[in-house]
Amino acid sequence: MSDEQRKDDKAEDKGTGEREAGNGKPEPADDLKTTRHRLGDLAYTATTGRIVLREEVVEDEKYTGRKPKAEVSITYYTLDDADVTSRPVTFAFNGGPGSSSIWLHLGLLGPRRVDSGDVGERTPPPYGLLDNDQTLLRHTDLVFIDPVSTGYSRAVEGEKAKDYHGFTGDIESVGEIIRLWTTRHNRWLSPKFLIGESYGGTRGAGLAEHLMTRYGLFLNGAMFLAPAFNLETLYLSNRSDLPNPLFLPTYAATSHYHGLQEGRDLEELVAEARDYTDRYRAILAKGHNLDPAERADAVAKLASLSGVGEQYVDNANLRLEHTRYYAELQRHRKLVTGRLDTRFTGPADHHLHERMPYDPFLSATAGPYTAALQHYLRAELEYENEAVYETLSRAVHPWSFKEFEGEAVDVTDKLASAMRLNPHMKVHVAMGRYDGGVPVEAIEYTLDHLEVPSEARERIETKTYPAGHMMYVHEPSRVQQSADLADFIQRASNR
């Protein structure tokens, strides 16, 4: 690439520059830094910083321009000298709500990855960075997006961030960033993908429909890691016993991992728990009509499968709510069991907590990822910003689900709509056997009830890994998952 071309690239990355706003102050401008790198034979360009999100304004039925509303932090990687009409591009985000894209960026997809270790062999501070030879950049350009109030993303001065702290505002703002990036970089003829984790699955399902119906942007595929498609399957409520049977196989696997199922085979134990779910559901449905003898049998069965005592199951009225279960399972060892990855454990200040006081998995990963990102952006991508990088932001709460008032938050209708309207869109779903927040069976239940034709259901593939919510923390799972995602991108690109 010539020096003149590089100058042109940098001019484009800086955006349109500052302009005066109506109040005499300069308007926010894109703030981006571009650098070039190599990973073995892979030559690529990295760009990071913030781009201005604008909203079209109409006052008194007159168009008055595009008003700056927020500055959104973004990092993207493009392969040098690639044909943009054949080179795929993937837009990536995590969930929360309130999570930045740090986890997918430095845990699985990007060309550099955090050295965090795994359960039982955690890397101590100050941690480190490693080359990611399995980076998905080998197969697709990558765009990591931090929704408003996460990462370095903020509402501009005088604007309200809460406009983006809800289901619709979030989807519309992230969708606009995707449209804007696609247009600026002339990628409308590129194969296009989304990848979202956890609430990123909620967002991603909504985006798959929104991008199509609002902008005419059709995806080749959507990839979901531990997606929270239907929150009714995940949170126990007075209105639904649905989560109880769906969590049981995860409880069984977790108790086995922690040595509470002596002499039992893991696969056979999980299969037994799965086989019992229909019976368990029917037992709960009987309520006060449940025969005492049948109830006693259910208590014994649930205790045997879950690894907690019969008295606890009886006291819980057969309903093992997950944050209580993770506090109880290893209470006799004075340990708390992880939620997002139940392989992890940690101590508590005391052992009378009804619910888990914290998630040992989050405490094990927050430090390594944050330190790695702070170093990486400044030292390697040469971007300087002294604001707090909000890895997991509490500022987005309370998150608005006003669109679902009176009903469970469930985006399966949006995913189904996207698949019906776009018969070429393929879906990849990754699940972790030790994910105690979004269990395998909860995801499978949701997919099995997706309202799409049978031939469309065949466009959905699932993969299960012997790890947790962020299954790539487990090294063998990370390597396998990287290969599975690369294979999906290649098959779904229609090239």
Is pLDDT at 65 greater than 80 in this prediction? no
Q: Name 20's bridge partners.
A: 26
Residue ranges per structural domain of the chain: 30-232+370-492, 238-361
226 pLDDT higher than 50: yes
What pLDDT does residue 27 have? 87
The yes-or-no verdict on residue 132 having pLDDT over 90 is: yes
Query: pLDDT at position 20, please?
Result: 53
Q: Which two tokens stand for residue 460?
A: 């959905």
Dist CA 100 CA 146 (whole Å): 5
Percent of the residues in the chain that have a pLDDT greater than 90, as a whole number: 87
Mean pLDDT computed over 240-263: 96
Q: Taking phi first (over 0 means left), then psi (-120 to 50 degrees means alpha), and beta for anything else, what does residue 290 get?
A: beta
Residue 434 to residue 129: CA distance in whole angstroms: 26
Q: Which of 186, 179, 180, 184 is nearest to 219 (CA)?
A: 179
Between the two ends of the chain, the Cα-to-Cα distance in Å is 26
Which residue, among 145, 142, 45, has the nearest Cα to 90 in the 3D structure?
142
The tens digit of pLDDT for each residue in 40-53 reads: 999 999 999 999 99
Q: What angle do CA 408, 414, 418 make, to 5 degrees?
A: 165
**What confidence tens digit (pLDDT) does each residue in 318-329 have?**
999 999 999 999
pLDDT tens-digit series, residues 426-483: 999 999 999 999 999 999 999 999 999 988 889 999 999 999 999 999 999 999 999 9
Q: What is the pLDDT of residues 159-171, one digit of tens each?
A: 999 999 999 999 9
pLDDT at 249 over 70: yes
- pLDDT, residue 219, reads 98
State yes or no: cis peptide before 147, omega within 30 of 0: no
Q: Which residues are within 8 A (CB) of 61 and not within 5 positions of it... i.e. 6 or more apart? A: none
Position 371 confidence tier, pLDDT thresholds 50, 70, 90: very high
Residues found in the chain: 495
Fold classified for 30-232+370-492: Rossmann fold (3.40.50)
pLDDT band, very low/low/confident/very high, at 55 (cuts 50, 70, 90): confident
Task: Please state, rounded to an integer, the average pLDDT across all residues of the chain.
Answer: 93
The pLDDT value given to residue 72: 97
Q: Nearest to residue 462, comparing CAs of 483, 432, 419, 435?
A: 432
pLDDT confidence of 352, banded at 50, 70, 90?
very high
Has this prediction a pTM greater than 0.85? yes
Mean pLDDT of 358-367: 95
Question: Torsion angle of alpha carbons 431, 433, 437, 439, nearest 10°?
Answer: 70
* Residue 16 pLDDT > 70: no
Distance CA 241, CA 319 (A): 8
Task: Report pLDDT for 26.
Answer: 82
- Report whether pLDDT(233) > 80: yes
**Whole-angstrom Cα distance, residue 481 to residue 164?**
32
Q: Which of 65-74, 203-212, 252-261 has the lowest mean pLDDT?
A: 65-74
pLDDT tens sequence across 285-308: 999 999 999 999 999 999 999 999
